[in-house]
Amino acid sequence: MKTPLTELEFTEPERYEQYEGPFYHFELSRREFIATLGAGLVISVATPSAFAQRAGRGAEQAASLAQRLHIGVDGVVTVLTSKVEVGQGSRTQLTQAAAGELHVAIERLRLVMGDTAGPDDGGTAGSATTPRSVPAIRKACAATRQLLLDTAATAFTVEAGNLSVRDGKVEGLPPGKQFSYADLASERHAEALKQNVAPGVAIKEVAAWHVLGTSVPCVNGVEIVTGAHRYPSDIVRPGMVYGKVLRPASYGAKLEEIDLGPAKATPDVIAVRDGDFVGFTAPTSFAAEQARNAAAKTAKWTSPANVSSDELHTHLRAKASGRSRPEKRGNADEAFQNAAKVLRETYNIAYIQHAPMEPRAAVAEWNGDQLTVWTGSQQPARVRQDLAQSLRIPTERVRVIVPDTGGGFGGKHSGEAAVEAARLAREARQPVSVRWSREEEFTWAYFRPAGVIDVAGGLDAKGGLMAWEHVNFNSGSSAIASPYQIPNVTTEFKDCEQPLRSGSYRALASTANVFARESFMDELAAATDADPLEFRLRHLTNERLRNVLLAATERFGWHGAWKKNSSRQTTGIGLACGIEKGSFAACCAKIEVNTDGTFKVLKVVEAFECGAIQNPANLKAQVEGCIIMGLGGALTEETRFKNGAMLNASFRSYRVPRFKDVPEIETVLVNRPDLPSVGAGETPIIGIAPAIANALFHAAQSRIRSLPIRNESFWYA
């Protein structure tokens, strides 16, 4: 049974979210999924292909029918999506979305996520699940509810308009008659179902939400607290062995020779060399690691010269390519010449790692020429392509399954472990589990790009901003456009030749661009003796951004707390705000300077607005998570490297936030039921670093212009 319904999806890729291709190029040497769900009814819905989404084409060229829902004969509804759960709460949120339109209890719903045998509604990136996938699933579910009503109306010769659905059952039928989703799935109604549900079925207005909009707890919470949930690194297959991969001696090093003889002679150990890839399998990960480590001692490498983190920012500026994307409004050059006062500053941003709690992991299993891989990735379809391309097999023979994964933060758009496991499993002729170590994750996973940002501002005689220039070297263009009203603006993002592999991150380049802009706004305010809040408001007409800024400062008690300091103080307050991915964030921070010159973040207040709130408890948790993760990038997180090697590939030396670092936190969730919901897992991070840097300036009268701030006393407090 096919029920066409057209849904447009489009996500504009950020530079670093773009596909970079497989990790390995090996030298030469689809099955039906829905059937496994058992008897029942399959509802297919037209979805544009993910390829067309990435290419930016419309749905009319791309629509293809994909199996979106399965209704079991027991009435259990399974919803399928390629979106994945990496901690942002999408499993619960999408279940709410489906339950609210189907009128089925949460407990009667299953969500199959991240399986390439299901529909491809794109990867999990850019905070797109809320604005794109929630409506897509709601529309499919609303259409299915209408199908239930129409079928019941035909079966009992009543008006569909007089019927409704409650808890999966049709209400308003003649006395003694019953009809439910289970009946819809039974064979009896096969004939009646041979009609298409009209597209354009209405979904509920926010005022009528009864599941969305409520704090439904994590739907698989019991599996998580009991350790029963199987993350990618927990997947076990019959006959599975463990794999370890040899890593290059340094970035870009080429393997000249290695002796695999001893490993090959070891019972139960398999050693593979395929181009630059060298891997080992054994019955335990310990034995695989021993084989790998012994072989590594015989390896000879040629290592290229590499830039070190100490010379990084000079390097990036020097290696800017000709490719850049300037955007202009008014005439900034002329305005700077006419300005009463001009300020110019440079801000430096370090490379940082996502460091999810679960390092990359995959299990690969071959059945003849069919390959199945379980792995933790935000991009199941890309991983499938990577596998097909690097193993030189047709895509149709590859299935990728992403179990709910231990953290992503934009750091798992790639499929390195999947390709490694698949290559080893082909050799071992057994399923292989490859789990990266923490050191591998720190060293060989891609990084949030480092950057150099030049900002200039021109003020008129009354202290009004009349000219603005913002140039980002390397770290990306997200949030490079200022939200402030400035008549003459130039912004430019310059691509650079960079030493480390870079990719997406939580809010990506906006963490850097907002840090630079909001720090610089503070500098301009100070240069005109203005209250940083008043200075911003004077240049801000965007109503939604004003609202969060006012909400945060009111809760924080900014008025009365801020005064101009002319000497060093022991405490300071700062603020920052910004827009990213359609949502609005404003932060206030209070810091205290210790007698030794180090400082502590005492309090953070953040106001956040992302349209109509779909799950208040999860939203609060995401904002709090962003605030604390933001403390890491602001204060301590920094990838240091020299001669092509990481210097701090460990939680010992790469300091991430801990319980003791948690300040007093208050969140203000601004609900806008009149506006469409957008994602919230990323944007709340953007204002933390500048708010802290501005608070430090307020207290210490000295300006921080690089991230991290390197407050050394935070180390192992």
Partner 1 sequence: MNLTAQFEVNGREQRVSTDAKRTLLDVLREDLGLTGTKFGCGEGQCRACTVLIDGKAVQACQTTMDEVDGRKIETIEGLANAGKLHPVQEAFIAEGAMQCGYCVPGMVMATVGLFRRNPKPTAAEITAGLNGNLCRCCGYVNVLKAVQRAAQIRKEGR
Residues that bind partner 1 (CB under 8 A): 85-89, 215, 217-218, 221-222, 224-231, 233-234, 236, 242, 284-287, 354-359, 404-409, 435, 437-438, 617-618, 621-622, 624-629, 632, 650-652, 656-660, 662, 665
The span from the CA of 265 to the CA of 262, in Å, is 5
In terms of phi and psi (left: phi > 0; alpha: psi -120 to 50; beta: otherwise), the region of 394 is beta
The span from the CA of 98 to the CA of 107, in Å, is 12
Amino acid at site 402: V
Q: Which is nearer to partner 1, 39 or 222 (CB)?
A: 222
Nearest Cα neighbor of 376 from 409, 412, 410, 424 is 412
Q: Which is nearer to partner 1, 437 or 528 (CB)?
A: 437
Name the residue with tokens 């023979």.
397
The span from the CA of 285 to the CA of 290, in Å, is 9
The span from the CA of 37 to the CA of 25, in Å, is 36
Contact 619, 669 (CB under 8 A): yes
Nearest Cα neighbor of 407 from 447, 358, 451 is 358
- The H or E element spanning position 706 is strand 706-707
Q: Which is nearer to partner 1, 548 or 604 (CB)?
A: 604
Sheet holding 40-48, edge to edge: 40-48, 63-72, 77-81, 109-113
Q: Which is nearer to partner 1, 186 or 285 (CB)?
A: 285
CB of 438 to partner 1, least distance (A): 4
- The H or E element spanning position 621 is helix 616-635
Q: Which is nearer to partner 1, 203 or 629 (CB)?
A: 629
> Alpha-carbon torsion 258, 263, 265, 269, what sign?
negative
Contact 657, 114 (CB under 8 A): no
The span from the CA of 200 to the CA of 135, in Å, is 12
Task: Tell me how far CA of residue 613 lies from CA of 204, 583, 626, 688, in angstroms.
Answer: 14, 12, 17, 22
CB of 143 to partner 1, least distance (A): 32
CB count within 10 Å of CB 647 equals: 15
Contact 552, 559 (CB under 8 A): no
Token reading at 272: 């593979």
CB of 696 to partner 1, least distance (A): 21
Residue 284 burial by CB count (10 A; 0-12/13-18/19+): exposed, middle or buried? exposed
Token reading at 695: 């608070």
CB of 230 to partner 1, least distance (A): 7
Q: Which is nearer to partner 1, 282 or 471 (CB)?
A: 282
Token reading at 638: 């920094």
Q: Which is nearer to partner 1, 137 or 240 (CB)?
A: 240
What is the CA angle 380-383-387, rounded to 5? 140
CB of 493 to partner 1, least distance (A): 28
Contact 450, 474 (CB under 8 A): yes
Q: Which is nearer to partner 1, 215 or 389 (CB)?
A: 215
Task: Tell me how far CA of residue 389 lies from CA of 147, 375, 397, in angstroms.
Answer: 41, 17, 12
CB of 717 to partner 1, least distance (A): 9
Q: Which is nearer to partner 1, 643 or 650 (CB)?
A: 650
The full 3-state SS of 54-87, as one line of letters, equals HHCCCHHHHEEEEEEEEEECCCCEEEEECCCCCC
Token reading at 256: 């000249």
Q: Which is nearer to partner 1, 131 or 411 (CB)?
A: 411
CB of 689 to partner 1, least distance (A): 14
Contact 656, 636 (CB under 8 A): yes
- DSSP 3-state of 507: coil
Q: Which is nearer to partner 1, 88 or 490 (CB)?
A: 88
Q: Which residues contact 55 (CB under 8 A, 6 or more apart)?
A: none
CB of 376 to partner 1, least distance (A): 10
CB of 87 to partner 1, least distance (A): 3
CB of 238 to partner 1, least distance (A): 12
Q: Which is nearer to partner 1, 335 or 689 (CB)?
A: 689
CB of 411 to partner 1, least distance (A): 10
Q: Give Cα 52 to chain centroid, integer Å.
A: 21
CB of 225 to partner 1, least distance (A): 4
Q: Which is nearer to partner 1, 426 or 655 (CB)?
A: 655
Q: Which is nearer to partner 1, 268 or 310 (CB)?
A: 268
CB of 276 to partner 1, least distance (A): 25
The span from the CA of 636 to the CA of 640, in Å, is 11
Q: Which is nearer to partner 1, 3 or 639 (CB)?
A: 639
